[in-house]
């Protein structure tokens, strides 16, 4: 079932058949230190949770592009995970811009937030470009290959979305 659509992409609720592709790119990006690795059963649990959205991103030919996991709590929406197979093609910008619009036009959340590891220069650049504001940095919060990585928290508030609405339309 379709969740949302952009010019080049469609976002659907994750089905079991996509989990093989999801785990494969998750392994790759876990190795790079950008995302943590979940077991199949953790993904399956998240697909069933009422306060989470486990979403698969497809291109217009239904080819697997990536996935996202979104959580809702206390008028906050967390873009907990986004992981794309095809990078640097503008898909991240396209899809996250649509997620921002969704958050502030289709739900009543006050804050859309995410965390990103400090080594993820591409992610940090893109989130800033999309209007995310750095809230702070959790020092040495994640262990990856014997090194501790800092985790940066970034967010957009509803008031910021409304003030800068032109950049999202």
Among 14, 29, 56, 155, binds ligand COA (CB under 6 A): 29
Residue 8 within binding range of ligand COA, rule CB under 6 A = no
Span 127-166, contacts to ligand COA by CB under 6 A: 129
Site string for ligand COA, 38-77 (x = CB under 6 A): ----------------------------------------
Q: Which of 29, 101, 94 is nearest to 57 (CA)?
A: 94
- Residue 107 structure tokens: 């739900």
- Residue 27 structure tokens: 């392994």
DSSP for 29-88, please give it: HHHTTSSPPPPHHHHHHHHH-TTEEEEEEEETT--EEEEEEEEEETTEEEEEEEEESS-S
Residues 141 and 131: their CA atoms lie apart, in Å, by 24
Residues 70 and 51: their CA atoms lie apart, in Å, by 8
Residue 90 within binding range of ligand COA, rule CB under 6 A = yes
- Residue 156 structure tokens: 């957009």
Among 51, 62, 88, 108, binds ligand COA (CB under 6 A): 88
Residue 36 within binding range of ligand COA, rule CB under 6 A = no
Q: How far is the CB of 160 from ligand COA (least distance, A)?
A: 19
Strand partners of residue 147: 144
Among 53, 57, 82, 100, binds ligand COA (CB under 6 A): 82
Which is closer to ligand COA, CB of 17 or CB of 88? 88
Residue 126 within binding range of ligand COA, rule CB under 6 A = yes
Span 106-125, contacts to ligand COA by CB under 6 A: 116, 120-123, 125
Strand partners of residue 43: none
Q: How far is the CB of 157 from ligand COA (least distance, A)?
A: 19
3-state helix, strand, coil in the chain (%, to 5): 35, 40, 25
Residue 83 within binding range of ligand COA, rule CB under 6 A = yes
**Which residue's beta carbon is nearest to the bound ligand COA?**
92
């Amino acid at each position: 079932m379709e969740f949302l659509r952009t010019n080049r992409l469609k976002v659907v609720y994750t089905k079991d058949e996509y989990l093989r592709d999801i785990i494969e790119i998750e392994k790759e990006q876990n190795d790079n230190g950008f995302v943590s690795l979940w077991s199949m059963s953790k993904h399956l649990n998240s697909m069933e949770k009422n306060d989470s959205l486990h979403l698969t991103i497809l291109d217009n030919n239904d080819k697997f592009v990536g996935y996202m996991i979104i959580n809702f709590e206390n008028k906050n929406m967390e873009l907990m995970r986004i992981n794309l197979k095809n990078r640097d093609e503008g898909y991240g910008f396209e899809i996250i811009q649509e997620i921002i619009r969704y958050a502030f036009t289709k739900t009543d959340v006050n804050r859309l937030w995410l965390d990103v590891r400090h080594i993820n220069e591409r992610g940090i650049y893109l989130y800033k470009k999309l209007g995310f504001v750095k809230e702070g940095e959790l020092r040495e919060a994640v262990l990856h290959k014997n090194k501790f990585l800092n985790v940066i928290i970034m967010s957009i508030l509803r008031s910021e979305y409304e003030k800068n609405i032109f950049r999202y339309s």
